[in-house]
Amino acid sequence: MHAMIGSLDAAVEGYAAGLAEQVAAAVASGRALVPSLARRLADHGLSTDESLREHLSTLPILSKDDVLALQQADPPFGGALSATAAVRRVFQSPGPIYEPQLDGADPWRWSPSLRAAGMGADDLVLNCFGYHLSPAGAMFEEAAVALGARVLPGGIGNQDLQARAIADLGVTAYTGLPSYLKAVIDRYDDLGLPRDRWRLQRALVTAEPLPDSLRALLRERVPTVLMAYGTADTGLIAYETEPGGGLVPAPGVLVQVCDLDTGAPISQGEGQVVVTLLRPDYPLVRFGTGDLSAWRLGADGSPRLVGVLGRSGAAVKVRGMFLHPRQASAVLAGVPGVARWRFVIDRVEHRDDLGCEIVVAEGADDETVAADVADRIRSGLRFSCAVTSVADLPEDAAPITDRRDWS
């Protein structure tokens, strides 16, 4: 056991040391291009190249709330983008937080994860991430195109059409939520489409956990199902190269697991995933994802993330999108006829089930109020969910109750 701990410590330290010069050079270049980064570094005694090499991990972690505040003070990107950066598209994630798509091939660097799943120039990839406002759909399309693959931009919904396209076009690969892949498989069978025209052999899934039970179900129809991890802010962070083998840190980023109290990098135990992008025109430095993880050793002795173990903040991920208590409160505050409310998340048949329970004020009509709440959730939070009237809620009820079992 002591030898294994020592090996993990050495592997994590070796990984960080191997990137130290590259990280320091990228941050130094970013400091010259982005005045807000120069001020942030100077405020914490990191004005020299030597200090960047030796002490960058002492820089306080930049949280999503910090990014939101910076963007509100200095729209649209909070001063975090170089004036010379070429922005091709702008996306909006819940918060709202705005993310730039920078020019160039595969700007979010997801292609290594697709390549690990066996995807390449011969594939037709059904991309079932959303193409509206959030960057997920574009992220995976850019990655697949960078590998020379063709893309069917399926998005979320229209499962009848997606299933028929699998049969008609000979779709060979999939990117999206693991639960959505199961739903597409089930719909293919429900429609009675020919099994001999099912050619989908490879899948890269992300944005929600992949329990062994669900992976086993998916592999009955899709032989290769690998998991990856990333965010809208950072792009790819880590990915599997074999089922259950842990997540390899991606190229183009420094990945750290940091103590929740001190923010210092750790090699043992659970902590927050903190990422530094190695690109000077968008130098996201020591960005805290809010996700919890830990290091483990891969079969080859390299350090790997165990996956996402939970969240360090109050936000939760539902159907691949974040639900923030603060944002939910802003949308539902002052809705006529609503005395109290809470969101409840369950896991049913390997899919997230989101509901909203409301206590209707005396004299208000239950159905009218529930319909109003559902409309506000759909337009303000971009979630569809069932709204249920209940007699009462506990005084200490949290705004979001997560009852999911991932076993």
Give start-end residues of each CATH 3.30.300.30 domain in the chain.
316-402
pLDDT score, position 54:
92
Dump pLDDT digits (tens) for 330-347.
888 888 999 889 999 998
Q: Report the alpha-carbon distance of residue 345 to residue 327 in Å, rounded.
A: 17
Closest CA to 140 of 191, 167, 101, 169: 101
Containing 186, the helix (H) or strand (E) segment is helix 178-190
pLDDT band at 1, cuts 50/70/90? very low
Dump pLDDT digits (tens) for 254-275.
999 999 899 999 999 999 999 9
pLDDT band at 6, cuts 50/70/90? low
Dump pLDDT digits (tens) for 361-398.
888 999 999 999 999 998 888 888 999 999 888 877 88
Q: Report the alpha-carbon distance of residue 137 to residue 134 in Å, rounded.
A: 8
Average pLDDT over residues 66-73: 94
Q: Tell me how far CA of residue 31 lies from CA of 82, 83, 200, 289, in angstroms.
A: 10, 12, 46, 22
- Asked if the bond preceding 76 is cis, omega within 30° of 0, the reply is yes
The CATH number of the structural domain formed by 111-227 is 3.40.50.12780
In sequence order, what are the beta bridge partners of 352?
347
- Both tokens assigned to 390: 């209940």
Q: Tell me how far CA of residue 181 lies from CA of 54, 178, 204, in angstroms.
A: 45, 5, 10
pLDDT score, position 309:
84
Give start-end residues of each CATH 3.40.50.12780 domain in the chain.
111-227
In sequence order, what are the beta bridge partners of 153?
127
At the fourth CATH level, the homologous superfamily of domain 316-402 is ANL, C-terminal domain (3.30.300.30)
